[in-house]
Structure 1
Amino acid sequence: MMAAEAGASANTIAAYRADLERTAEAISGPIGEADSDALSGLGASWSHLAASTVARRAASLRRFYGFLFDEGLRDDDPSAALPRPKLSRPLPRILDPDEVERMFAAIEDRAASGQPLALRNLALLELLYGSGLRATELVSLPRAALLRREQPFLILRGKGGKERLVPISDRARAAVDAWLEHCPDGKWLFPGGKAHLSRVRLFQLVRAMAAEAGIAPERVSPHVLRHAFATHLLAGGADLRALQALLGHADIATTQIYTHVDSTRLVELVNQRHPLANR
């Protein structure tokens, strides 16, 4: 149902499966037959987890028991007994523009020598920071994705199966072109093992690039570069709705988190645009 009807991605389905398996370990008896008392006791066993993790597990179970009830496999839906933690959205970690510049400078020095893997890493970095791609979207790009020279964008199927336009800068295209001269033949733009580069390997590569630029590796990840893309665009004057479309957010409330990150711009906006600013 999650795959065929809800259109959930493989990563989402894997996360749901893991949540159900961990819940099955925490309760006695088959998970499909658990009653309200069994589910109400999960709050105590999950007390050591972050509120976001508890909320995700509870959401997975609500979806599961809702499915059983809708399909007539149960006469009731016990999910009302699941905990509902209060969530506060944390501010995203980002990098300063000069830190991103240091990462580019370090990898460009290596790429200048023509090392194939350095050229690949530069292309990865350009697409992460220059287009705001998610890690899965980036590593699963087909080889033919950027071959149409007249098209300065990608039509990408991202999270939740939603399509969006992703602009590709001239810098990113040039970096990809340089990498394609050395890229092994096959389906994927960034091959790795028997398929494409894995998200774990991308994470490792990004941290290695950060370390080479003198930045603490634990501060950097593919998603941090996506956050930097969004924050720096907003600081440069990008419209919030345009940023929502570029990031592929279903709800603009998700995009609005970046207005809290760029507090300096908000202060400047009030000082410059408010009717009383010049009195």
Structure 2
Amino acid sequence: MAIESFLAMLAAERGAAANTLAAYRRDLEGAEEVLGDLLHADRAALARLGQAWADLAPSTVARKASALRQFYGFLVDEKLREDDPSAALPRPVARRPLPKILSHEQVELLFRQAEEEAESARPPALRLLALLEMLYGSGLRATELVALPLSSVPRDAPFITVSGKGGQQRLVPVSTRARQALSRWLAVRPADGPYLFPSRGKHLTRVRLFQLLKELALRAGLDPAKLSPHVLRHAFATHLLEGGADLRVLQTLLGHADIATTQIYTHVDSARLVALVNERHPLAGGARGG
């Protein structure tokens, strides 16, 4: 079956994760329910999908159309079809929302609170500081951070090995501050289990990480609704870009397969610059005197 062959290619050649494969399967099989056998569908048939998808959000239509374009590209590459009818698919314009970020001042408040609590040398406080340093200092995803094995932290190099989406591994630099926080945590870490942040025989969960950060935000006088592991990852990326980091370097650090995903941060930085001009320019808020 063509869909099965396509999914097998995604798994073997692109390292697609199980959730990604399931999403592609749903989109392709959903289109097949409307059109019948996708292998023999023509341009006129694909054009009808626009009407079938009329009530869906533009982002959903874009995702479904992308799955079909990749599918038909695969069929052509594999000589299963001579033509690619996917040009007839709808192309909605979906604006990607800008990610939430924290200001430098808000980050400082967060770290000041975590560092003051870590002075107690209590294991929960030292763990929280290490988690915070890794989220903001290395830009890790929540799932990557909580599942870090103890063996991923080398003793003699400022890097850790991270297993990201699709099982793809990358080296992520660890700042001097983060290494110090990790060292303090390792000195009190329970000596059981293979994970860097163990919890109840396994590792700390994403849900618990969210809770810990929101509780810290409250204690630091910040709105907990504005803080999450992903917000700290966005802050890491945006603040690096503000400091002059190259977009390709940022793509590698974040583990993005496509540079287009990373480019969203250029829009965030541009929005920040516009806001800065509007707020701080001498002519802001009033007309120029004649």
Taking structure 1 as the reference length, what is the TM-score of the superposition?
0.73
2:264 aligned with 1:239, yes or no?
no
Aligned twin of 2:20: 12
Aligned twin of 1:229: 236
Aligned twin of 2:170: 164
Aligned twin of 2:100: 93
- Report the 3-state secondary structure (helix = DSSP H, G, I; strand = E; otherwise coil) of the residue aligned with 2:157: coil
The structure with the larger Rg is 2
**Deviation of 1:40 (Å):** 5.8
Cα RMSD after superposing both structures? 3.7
Whether the aligned pair in 2 keeps the contact of 1:183 and 1:189 (CA below 8 Å) is: no
Whether the aligned pair in 2 keeps the contact of 1:134 and 1:222 (CA below 8 Å) is: yes
Aligned twin of 1:271: none
Query: 2:241 is aligned with what amino acid?
Result: L
- Report the 3-state secondary structure (helix = DSSP H, G, I; strand = E; otherwise coil) of the residue aligned with 2:161: strand
**Deviation of 1:206 (Å):** 2.9
**Residues 181-196 of structure 1 correspond to what in structure 2 (within 5 A)?**
181-192=188-199, 195-196=202-203
Query: 1:220 is aligned with what amino acid?
Result: L
2:11 aligned with 1:3, yes or no?
yes
Deviations 1:228-275 (A, max 9, x none): 11111222233333323322334444333323322366999xxxxxxx
- Report the 3-state secondary structure (helix = DSSP H, G, I; strand = E; otherwise coil) of the residue aligned with 2:222: coil
Aligned twin of 1:173: 179
Whether the aligned pair in 2 keeps the contact of 1:156 and 1:164 (CA below 8 Å) is: yes
**Deviation of 1:128 (Å):** 0.6
Query: 1:7 is aligned with what amino acid?
Result: G
Whether the aligned pair in 2 keeps the contact of 1:152 and 1:168 (CA below 8 Å) is: yes
Aligned twin of 1:112: 119
- Report the 3-state secondary structure (helix = DSSP H, G, I; strand = E; otherwise coil) of the residue aligned with 1:165: strand
**Deviation of 1:187 (Å):** 1.6
Whether the aligned pair in 1 keeps the contact of 2:102 and 2:231 (CA below 8 Å) is: yes
Give me the whole-angstrom Cα distance separating, in 1, the residues matched to 2:85 and 2:125: 53
Give me the whole-angstrom Cα distance separating, in 1, the residues matched to 2:26 and 2:190: 35
Aligned twin of 1:128: 135
Taking structure 2 as the reference length, what is the TM-score of the superposition?
0.71
User: Which of 261, 267, 279 in structure 2 is aligned with 1:260?
Assistant: 267
**Deviation of 1:7 (Å):** 0.8
Whether the aligned pair in 2 keeps the contact of 1:7 and 1:161 (CA below 8 Å) is: yes
Deviations 1:187-244 (A, max 9, x none): 2112345643333443343333333333323322222211111111222233333323
After TM superposition, the structure 1 stretch with the greater mean CA deviation from structure 2, 125-134 or 88-97, is 88-97
Aligned twin of 1:272: none
2:148 aligned with 1:141, yes or no?
yes
Query: 1:93 is aligned with what amino acid?
Result: K
- Between the two proteins, the alignment pairs up a number of residues equal to 265
**Residues 182-221 of structure 1 correspond to what in structure 2 (within 5 A)?**
182-192=189-199, 195-221=202-228
Whether the aligned pair in 2 keeps the contact of 1:52 and 1:87 (CA below 8 Å) is: yes
Distance 1:76 1:258, change over 3 A: closer
Give me the whole-angstrom Cα distance separating, in 1, the residues matched to 2:45 and 2:200: 43
Whether the aligned pair in 1 keeps the contact of 2:15 and 2:168 (CA below 8 Å) is: no
Query: 1:258 is aligned with what amino acid?
Result: Y
